[in-house]
Chain A
Amino acid sequence: MLLVIGSSLALVLDAFILWFGGRGWLFGVFWVLGLLGALGTIVAAWFLHAWWLAAAIVFVFAGLIVTLAGPSQPRRAAA
């Protein structure tokens, strides 16, 4: 369970980095890390029978796709 909590917290951190970070190579790295983390967490949720967590990770996947489709310029610069 601690593994899942840690993984979920890392996903939240990843989301912040993707949201506030730029669109450079770091974006790609963190996007891939987020995808792997979400995949790992949903598999863990499956094996833990934590269906609520599996449902939450579906939103993470949706967020990752939305991030890809987001503005190409860094949000800080846009502001």
Chain B
Amino acid sequence: MTTRALLRIAPAAALGLALMVALPAAIAQNDTSNPGATSGGISGQEQHEPSGPGYGPPRGNVVAPSSAPATSPSSTTDAAALQPSGALPAPKPIPLVPSHPVWNTFHGQLNAQKYSPLTQITADNVKSLLKVWEYHTGDMSDGSGERPTSVWSATPIFANDTLYIGTPFYRVIALDPGTGQVKWTFDSKSTLKALTQPALKNRGVAYWQSPNPVAGQPCQKIVYLGTMDAQLFAMDADTGKLCQGFANNGVLNVDQWNDVNNKYPLSLLQPPTVAGNHVIMGWAGKDWAYAEAPPGTVFSVDPQTGKRQWSFAALPPDIAPRTGTANVWTGMSVDEGLGLIYLPVSSPSPNYWGGNRTEKIPLATSTTALNLDTGEVVWSRQWVHHDIWDYDINSAPTLMDITVSGQQIPALMQATKMGFLFVVDRRTGKYVWPIEERKVPGGDGSIQGEVYAPTQPFPTRPAPLLDQSKKPPIWWVADALGLGQCSRLWKSLDYAGMYSPPTHKDNGVLAYPDSAGGVQWGGVAFDPRGKTAIVNFSHVVQSIKLYPRKEYEQLAGGSGNEQGFYPQEGAPYGMSLDNALNWLGMPCWAPPFGEIAAIDMSTGDIKWRRPIGASQKWGFYMPESMGSVTIGGPAVTAGGVIFIGASMDAKVRAYALADGKELWSDIVQAPAVANPAIYEYKGREYVAFIAGGNTVLKDQVGDQVAVYALPKS
């Protein structure tokens, strides 16, 4: 009897407690302010003296973190970060924002605005949105069989009156945009092994069409698919048949150019960027595995022949053999009028120890503008000096024309893992609002061979999306249910403010945001009419610890997706990366866990911010006031609607651009970790989501393409 009663009461008590948790959070639902999110670096009173010119030795002691916002800049010069400007190409009369609806590339348009001028779906009628068709590719794996887990983050592209999608099994499917009927499929028959990633990944396909098509000839319109094993397939967009004139009968072996530290293939998971007569490819590698890895070369090839046109390397050739990467694994953006392509460049190898690359590497962890036709650097701006946090620049910069203080500026916004939004003139890289070089913490002496950059760039506007001036507050519920576990963990983690470096001491260093980033590869959407930028971002805390090699070999267990032990083979230190959770798996840091915000790009002020989505554990949805960690980005329309999936609860949503109010939602098969696509076909506006899932969010995979439209009147 007693046992039965306890068994009966236990779930009720647990859920009642959850309700208690929900109520205060729900009360705070409309509190969109984040007073702490104006700070970063070491506050004025506590700034360390620089260690000397260039990168310095470790600091002696960790200074206690300050809760005061940083108000005293070290400098606002561009000299520390901006590389001398090269010559701008001759301008061309190509507008930044296409005059007609376009969604033929990963970020919708080459400017990465993810903006549709369509107005059929509005903030007033979006609540009537219906799923008009769905398609299941069959290409998914939960990892239980022989195949690795699938992670499908493809944005469908609309071109040639067709919706093209790539799958994590490296197939291309061409669908009728109005009905979802299959037009053709292409199977690369690529290896389905996770050669460089913990999962089979695909972010879609790219499209090119000839400006001067030859009648009756195939491959005047081409779809490109990259694979895990570094093959680029080019197929006719009308038939799906390989283009025989492209490279080797339609297949370009990009790994032929993998000639330095070729520990793994150059995985083509992100679709190429296609602009003018160029197919430009970055690639993804195997993070955290090696100290010496392939250097991150970007290749431009001819769209019809696959012949290499130019290449770009962020690493100087004399440094590349003893480090590696600084690759471009995410999307790029292009201003065809200016003739520039903008590369978000990642960090060098290994990610969390830089003793093998103590020289300045100015093009690493940067936004770098190249001449689209020649690949020459026009300007480059480094966002993290001597990156030992894996703060890869992980999204295509969003290009936007804005007016600030009465001056029209062709600008670029670079969102970052750090939660910083840097805004610069996209012709020169010079800041629009001051970007300050602030002093940051040095090391504690526990890491041999390491050097530390004395300052790092911090934006003044827009304000940082996360408050990294101090350790994030502990979530009392997780701490209570963990019997003080979170408090103990917080005390044992080093943190002296943003850019506190990895350490061997205690439980390591607190990392906030996490390795996946505050803002991720979905990037920033932009409404060019209202000059409003929209960005979703996550609040996640991790701990990073470096272990001397012998100790690492004794301790190392398995590694998961973005957490666990990683060897950094070739470096004197292995490392571990762990989410800051209690024994129940609850986050130790206080919610919200994810937000979406709108920014007035005339002033740099945040118009509104709100939690996005709902977290989910064991099927239980937490209150939406707590938000969700997100993967994937937003899209925005002239109808005043923001569309986004991205959240853990596998819902796709519409928010009002004006005030962030949630207007509509629907449940899809798995978290829609891809940016949505918006297109018009036969006079009807459609919104397409791909629900593929990502195990970083939760163990749920999908193979669904879900397409929505208003009911036919």
Contacts and interface: CB of A to CB of B under 8 A. Distances in A.
Interface in A35-68: 36-37, 39-41, 43-44, 46-49
B619 A43 contact: no
Given A36-B9, A37-B8, A47 B15 contact: yes
B12 A39 contact: yes
Interface residues of A, number: 17
A59 B176 CA distance: 47
A37 B620 CA distance: 17
B18 interface: yes
Contacts of B621: 47-49
B19 interface: yes
Interface in B573-619: 618-619
Nearest to A26: B1
Contact of B11 (A1, A3, A46): A3
Contacts of A33: 4-5, 8-9
Contacts of B620: 44, 47-48
A39 B13 CA distance: 9
B16 interface: yes
A29 B621 CA distance: 32
Q: Which of B15, B18, B620 is most buried by chain A, counting CB atoms within 10 A of its CB?
A: B15
Contacts of B7: 10
Interface string B32-57: 00000000000000000000000000
Contacts of B19: 43, 46
B15 A40 contact: yes
User: Secondary structure at chain A's binding surface: helix, strand, loop or mixed?
Assistant: helix
B619 A10 contact: no
User: Secondary structure at chain B's binding surface: helix, strand, loop or mixed?
Assistant: helix
Interface string B9-34: 10111011011000000000000000
A1 B13 CA distance: 17
Contact of B1 (A3, A29, A41): A29
A3 B619 CA distance: 10
Contacts of A49: 621
A43 B18 contact: yes
A36 B7 CA distance: 11
Q: Which of B7, B12, B19, B620 is most buried by chain A, counting CB atoms within 10 A of its CB?
A: B12
B20 to A, nearest CB: 11
A15 B418 CA distance: 56
A37 B1 contact: no
A1 B619 contact: yes
Nearest to A44: B15
Contacts of A41: 11-12
A3 B15 CA distance: 11
A49 B665 CA distance: 13
Contacts of A37: 8, 12
B5 A43 contact: no
Contacts of A46: 19
Contacts of A48: 619-621
A43 B16 contact: yes
B5 to A, nearest CB: 6
Contact of B18 (A29, A39, A47): A47
B4 A43 contact: no
B643 to A, nearest CB: 21
A33 B15 CA distance: 16
Interface in B104-125: none
A40 B4 contact: no
Nearest to A40: B12
Interface string B535-551: 00000000000000000
A22 to B, nearest CB: 15
Given A36-B8, A48-B621, 19 more contacts: A33-B5, A33-B8, A33-B9, A36-B9, A36-B12, A37-B8, A40-B9, A40-B11, A40-B13, A41-B11, A41-B12, A43-B18, A43-B19, A44-B620, A47-B620, A47-B622, A48-B619, A48-B620, A49-B621
Nearest 9 pairs of A and B residues by beta carbon? A40-B12, A43-B15, A47-B620, A40-B11, A37-B8, A36-B12, A33-B8, A44-B15, A1-B619
12 contacts: A3-B11, A29-B1, A33-B8, A41-B12, A43-B12, A43-B18, A44-B15, A44-B620, A47-B620, A47-B622, A48-B621, A49-B621
